[in-house]
């Protein structure tokens, strides 16, 4: 009984320590959260107007019908229509098949940027609705982009 308890404790300790280790890419620049100041609801409206803001040409990309295994690539273009530098701190796809590439440097007011997204349909079939969630110094601080379409299974001979 002691042996089982000891092994379970060691396994739990290893599992918890592995969960706390975040993977870091040394090539990616670290963005300090000190530069992000999002006013709370109690702050005045003037402070909220000074935030960065996304203005996308489109937030939904409809790729139509593709055959299973094809990759779809699109670019979401945006302008920082706010009054301060726009900093995107993270961009995550709804699954591993949807991979976003986003600018790591601040986007000045009036400047443009692009979010490139690649959807890999390998192993997918039917109607697909995939999303990319951006986290930035905007209000609200999350923006969701979408890819929609239909994946057809290849015909077998």
Residue 106 CA from chain centroid, whole number: 16
Beta-bridge partner residues of 119? 72, 98
Write down the H helix ranges in 20-102: 45-49
| Structural domains of the chain in order of their starting residue, each with its CATH number | 54-157 (2.60.40.10)
3-state secondary structure of 79: strand
pLDDT tens by residue, 72-129? 999 999 999 999 999 999 999 999 999 999 999 999 999 999 999 999 999 999 999 9
3-state secondary structure of 143: strand
pLDDT tens by residue, 135-149? 999 999 999 999 999
3-state secondary structure of 115: strand
pTM over the 0.85 mark? no
In whole angstroms, give the CA distance from residue 94 to residue 96: 7
């Amino acid at each position: 009984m002691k042996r089982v308890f000891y092994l379970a404790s060691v396994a739990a300790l290893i599992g918890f320590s592995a969960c706390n280790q975040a993977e870091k890419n040394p090539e990616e620049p670290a963005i300090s959260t000190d530069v992000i100041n999002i006013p709370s609801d109690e702050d005045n409206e003037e402070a909220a107007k000074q935030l960065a803001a996304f203005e996308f040409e489109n937030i939904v990309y409809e790729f139509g019908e593709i055959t299973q295994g094809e990759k779809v690539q699109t670019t979401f273009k945006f302008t920082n229509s706010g009054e301060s530098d726009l900093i995107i701190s993270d961009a995550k796809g709804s699954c591993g098949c949807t991979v976003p590439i986003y600018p790591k440097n601040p986007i000045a007011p009036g400047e443009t940027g692009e979010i490139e997204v690649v959807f890999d349909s390998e192993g997918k079939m039917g109607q697909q609705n995939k999303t990319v969630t951006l986290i930035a110094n905007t209000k609200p601080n999350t923006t969701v982009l979408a890819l929609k379409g239909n994946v057809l299974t290849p015909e077998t001979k």
